Structure 1
Amino acid sequence: MARWSWGFLFLLMGGCYCQYKPTWESIDSRPVPEWFDQAKFGIFIHWGVFSVPSYGSEWFWWYWQGQKIPSYLYFMAKNYPPGFKYQDFAPHLTAEFFNAKDWVDIFASSGAKYIVLTTKHHEGYTLWGSKYSWNWNAVDVGPKRDLVDEISSALRKYSDLRLGLYHSLFEWFHPLFRADAANNFTTSSFPQEKSLPELYEIINKYKPELLWSDGDGDAPDQYWNSTGFLAWLYNESPVRDTVVTNDRWGKGSICTHGGYYTCADRYNPGHLLKHKWENCMSIDQRSWGYRRDAKFSDYLTIEELIKTFVETVSCGGNLLMNVGPTHDGRIIPIFEERLRQMGQWLKVNGEGIYNTTAWRVQNDSVTPGVWYTWKSQEKAVYAFLLSWPSEGYVILSDPIVSLAQTQAVLLGYKPLKWVPLKPKGLQVYLPALSPGQMPCSWAWTIRLTGVD
């Protein structure tokens, strides 16, 4: 009775049972929520003031004023008057064509299960009216709208996609950060007065189910108080039960601490990892933000995107595919086309993607371009063929078959004939189909049941 009374008094006093302590050992012990592993596919959205010059990269400001790269200096000298500052771009982030419902329609059509929106990149400009970013946010200057609220509200109203928010810890040119860096991060004015308050603000206001941290500025996690914030996120925040985080919480934490691992941009190891991971990559191979100077060859083809997707999922990862909207709020046609093509492919082949896990082998030991997943509830192995075999058959060398039980089905079509091979494996015969008869146009999936 006394124990219950003390516990009740503790709750009345505003305390909590803090399951996770502000240490990496404790934080790392939290399992990644199951929804994330089942989702497999998300959409990254890089949007900010960098979308106005839309030249070179979303790192435009740093390459221009920080590294002073000649091509950026020339671009500014040629196209803008002397004395033009990066802040002068912000009023031109007009978003006049931005319609959150239209964006959500595109995202939902892709087959993605979550999005990640850049609420603040390294430039420091916030897409919501943050009280910690006075006159450098989308409500005060530029579109004069809370873009984060519009996207999150439309996402929840018109789709089942989960909301993820990206937030950069550091800012290239913020005077408080630069002062802390000059002090070798022995002072912490910037995280205490700017970065951490923003994080609490977006979590409490928008309640995202994924928080994508980035940009440690070569500062250690102790400077950012990362374990303290994550302990609050996991114990007390309004999304404590479902929120997922990544591994970018300070110098040295990537691929080591946090939630799921990202390890590097465009990370695709090609083999199974013991820890849940995500491959964040961009349709534009040279930039995350929109670029007016992009060439057609810079954009990945749908075949290349599906290849990366299949490889990633077969090795236990999720794919986070990036698009960069324009300054006026459009998702350009080539990005929209790629996303809708992904959705077309997933309508046929999603059975072998969603809610699957890695199999005992990730790719076939003999036949190149064949990758596997496993669905335990159906005891099914899925073999993804990245190209259609010209011989009329494919050899799958790793499954152990049974003449009495094994069945092979081409997803979107019908059962296929097969013969066993020695010492293991099978040869599956594929039908001669015209393009109009094909179940899909890129990469095909064979479902195998009754195999080990």
Structure 2
Amino acid sequence: MPGWSKREFMAGSLGAAAAGREAPAVPLAIAPGRFTPAVESLLGYRAPDWFRDAKFGIWAHWGPQAVPRQGDWYARFMYCPGHPHYAHHLKTYGHPSEAGYKDIIPLWTADKFDPEALMTRYAAAGARYFVSMGVHHDNFDLWRSKHHRWNAAAMGPKRDIVGAWRDAARRRGLRFGVSEHLGASYNWWYPSHLYDQFWPKLGVRYDGADPRYADLYHDNRDEPFLGPPDTWYTKNPAYHAHWYKRIRDLVDSYQPDLLYSDGGLPFGEVGRSLVAHLYNSSIARSGRLEAVYASKSLGSGEFHREWGVQDVERGVLKGIDPLPWQTDTSNGDWFENENDRYKTPAQVISMLADIVSKNGNLLLNVVLRADGSLPPQSVELLDALAAWMPVNGAAIYGTRPWKIHGEGPTEAAAGDFKESGDYVAQDIRFTTRGQRLYAITLAPPEGHVAVTSLAADNPHEPRRVRRVRLLGHEGTVAFRQTDRALVIDCPARLPSRHASAFEISFA
């Protein structure tokens, strides 16, 4: 286990695995309406226009695991001798038989958390939807939970974090979502029940084995999570019902426009009941289906591309997908990591354009410190987005894919956990709005741009180019359509520091 990452645990398994498919002991109550837990019923889903038009969302993947500043999955790996998180915990907080994750939670006070100020920055950076962490694998609810004492309103910050995020987002006209990682928590927490197999604490159990804290660490003695495909979700039907009760409380209390699960849909009919409830509740509120359920094709659980939105973690799909989809990624580690390498603004912007050209959305975690403040790298990114989006947003928001997604020497590898590196100016991505085509260079162009897909005899667009406009540039730009390319002359000074977007009209 030492050194294993989430990628190594989850990559390589396929959706629609059988794990956790047991039917619930009793039918679960769901809001009445058009959807039922039957697969055939959910296959009638269509993603709402708001999601297809939004293109860019910001996620606060945040919670007590930000406190140690060691990155993702701290709560699990602090119980795994040989892992750096274990060594850090031993040195900083003490042995996990005495000072466990339960003792990290009170240290998460979020004393600088200002959701209104942060949401103002996120909206200025161009986010059209915002997603709050609801509960991570650490089993700590960030809302005023009705069914779980380990929640942020009762301990730690002693604030309803989800509610504060929701109110701030909706005041700014942003759609609101929540993420749930609870499905995998039962097996994920298994190491907390173990003990060192060496002196001086040989055989002394970690605090997860203490029955006083079984509601945090779970009463799990026999289902270790060792990796995919069948150990991500427990087969314990009692936990399936517990998951449903908790996540339905989250959905009913905050009425999110989007619900994300970190994996495939958990627990068969139980999970399908939750999705049907989410959809029917949305229709009951507004008269139309406005809700989105996002899940993954990797990890255990069920997955059908048609019954929600496919989410790709730290990666993209290959080419244009006929159905809307979403990448989720972070500008750094999922929780703040003091040894981290952050994405540059140029990398994030080029990633956004590549994803949108393929009919996808980008959901970007912007790293927060444990106290609720932004590290310098997150400030730099938000400032860069706030400058780029107002100039180039017409090529992003409300667009649809063209006949091809792009051209150029650099192509992102398809699949989860396959984020690519830097692009060059010859890498161009296309989007459309009505009769207009947008060509986005994924790096600043110099001199001229040659769009080979718009050569005079190109097979993709028989119409001749009538006009070219550089978004953000007040003057005209010269162009010529040759047999090899549409050649556009760039002004000496570009309106954007990073990618540039050209609006192309046809005769």
Q: TM bucket by the smaller chain? A: 0.7 to 0.9
Matches of 1:232 and 1:177, distance apart in 2 = 28
Matched residue, 1:431: 491
Instruction: Summarize deviations over 1:99-152 as a string: whole Å, max 9, x none.
Output: 111111111111010111111100011111212211x11122111111111121
User: Helix, strand or coil for the counterpart of 1:178?
Assistant: coil
2:168 to 118, 137, 154: 154
2:363 is paired with a residue whose SS is strand
1:43 counterpart residue number: 58
Give the Å deviation of 1:440: 1.4
State whether structure 2 residue 483 is matched by structure 1 residue 406: no
Q: Which of 302, 312, 318 is the equivalent residue of 2:355? A: 312
Alpha carbons of 1:213 and 1:220: their partners in 2 closer, same or farther (altered >3 Å)? closer
Identity across matched positions, percent? 27
Does residue 448 (structure 1) correspond to residue 504 (structure 2)? The answer is yes
- Name 1:6's counterpart in structure 2: none
Structure 2 CA distance for partners of 1:177 and 1:109, relative to 1, 3 Å: farther
Separation of aligned partners in 1, 2:81 and 2:60: 26
Distance 1:69 1:225 in 2: 37
* Greater Cα shift, 264-273 or 139-148: 264-273
- 2:244 matches 1:205: no
2:337 matched to 1:291?
Answer: yes
Q: Choose the corresponding residue for 2:274, options 229, 236, 258.
A: 229
SS of the aligned residue for 2:112 comes to coil
Determine the C-alpha separation between the residues in 2 that align with 1:48 and 1:292.
Answer: 16
8 A contact 1:37–1:355 mirrored in 2: yes
How far apart in 2 are the matches of 1:196 and 1:350?
39
- How far apart are 1:192 and its partner, in Å? 0.8
After superposition, the Cα gap between the structure-2 partners of 1:30 and 1:36, relative to the gap in structure 1 and judged at 3 Å, is: same
Code of the residue aligned with 1:374 in structure 2: it is: T
Quote the offset at 1:17 in angstroms. 6.4
Whether the aligned pair in 1 keeps the contact of 2:177 and 2:258 (CA below 8 Å) is: yes
Deviations 1:403-427 (CA, angstroms, capped at 9, x unpaired): 97610111111321111212x6421
1:59 aligns with 2:73: yes
SS in 2 for 1:331: coil
Query: Separation in 2 of the partners of 1:100 and 1:365?
Result: 40
Whether 1:22 aligns to 2:37 is yes
1:228 deviates by 1.4
Q: Aligned partners of 2:395, 2:219: CA distance in 1, in Å?
A: 46
Structure 2, unaligned stretches of length 5 or more?
Answer: 1-28, 190-215, 225-229, 410-424, 457-461
Q: Is the 8 A contact 1:122 1:215 kept in 2?
A: no
Whether the 8 Å contact between 2:426 and 2:449 is mirrored in structure 1 is no
- For residues 289-333 of structure 1, what are the alpha-carbon distances to aligned partners after superposition, in whole Å with 9 as ceiling and x for unaligned? 112232xxx111111111111111111110111123222121223
CA distance in 1, matches of 2:62, 2:445: 41
Unpaired runs of at least 5, structure 1 = 1-13
Residues 167 and 212, structure 1, Cα contact 8 Å, conserved in 2: yes
Q: 1:190 aligned to 2:239?
A: yes
Q: Please state how far the C-alpha of 1:24 moved relative to its aligned partner.
A: 2.2
Q: Which amino acid aligns with 1:361?
A: I
Q: How many Å separate the matches in 2 of 1:404 and 1:74?
A: 64
More displaced stretch, 264-273 vs 178-187: 178-187
What is the CA-CA distance between 1:365 and the residue it aligns to? 6.2
Q: Does 1:370 align with 2:428?
A: yes
Determine the structure 1 residue equivalent to 2:479. Answer: 418
Contact 2:30–2:274 at 8 Å: present in 1 too? no
Name the residue aligned to 1:78. 91
1:328 alignment partner in structure 2: 371
Shift of 1:61: 1.4
Query: What SS does the corresponding residue of 1:329 show, helix, strand or coil?
Result: coil
Q: How many Å apart are 1:15 and its aligned residue?
A: 11
**TM-score, normalised with respect to structure 1:** 0.85
Contact residue 350 and residue 443 of structure 2 kept, 8 A: no
SS at match of 1:72: helix
Partners of 2:348 and 2:439 in 1: CA distance: 17
Select 1:178's aligned residue among 192, 216, 220.
220
The verdict on how the C-alpha distance between 1:302 and 1:180 changes in structure 2, with shifts beyond 3 A counting, is: same
Please name the residue that 2:388 is paired with: 345
On the 8 A contact 1:289/1:323 being kept in 2, the answer is no
- Cross-structure match for 1:8: none
Report if the CA contact (8 A) 1:100-1:150 is conserved: yes
Q: Which residue of 2 aligns with 1:282?
A: 330
SS at match of 2:355: helix
* Higher alpha-carbon deviation: 233-242 or 341-350: 233-242
The alignment partner of 2:274 has SS state of helix
Amino acid at match of 1:71: P
Q: Is the 8 A contact 2:406 2:429 kept in 1?
A: yes
Q: Using a 3 Å threshold, how does the CA distance of structure 1 residues 313 and 425 change in structure 2: closer, same or farther?
A: same
Cα deviation per residue 1:25-56 (whole Å; 9 max; x = unaligned)? 3212210011001000000111111011121x
Once residues 343 and 332 of structure 1 are traced to their aligned partners in structure 2, the CA distance between those partners, rounded to angstroms, is 17
Distance in 2 of aligned mates of 1:419 and 1:190: 65
Q: Does 1:242 align with 2:303?
A: no
In 2, are the aligned partners of 1:270 and 1:311 still within 8 Å (CA)?
no
CA RMSD of aligned residues (A): 2.7
Q: Secondary structure at the match of 1:351?
A: helix
Would you say the 8 A contact 1:325–1:332 is kept in 2? yes
| 1:380 match | 436
Contact (CA 8 Å) 1:407, 1:415: kept in 2 or not?
no
Equivalent-residue separation in structure 2 for 1:125 and 1:15 (angstroms): 25
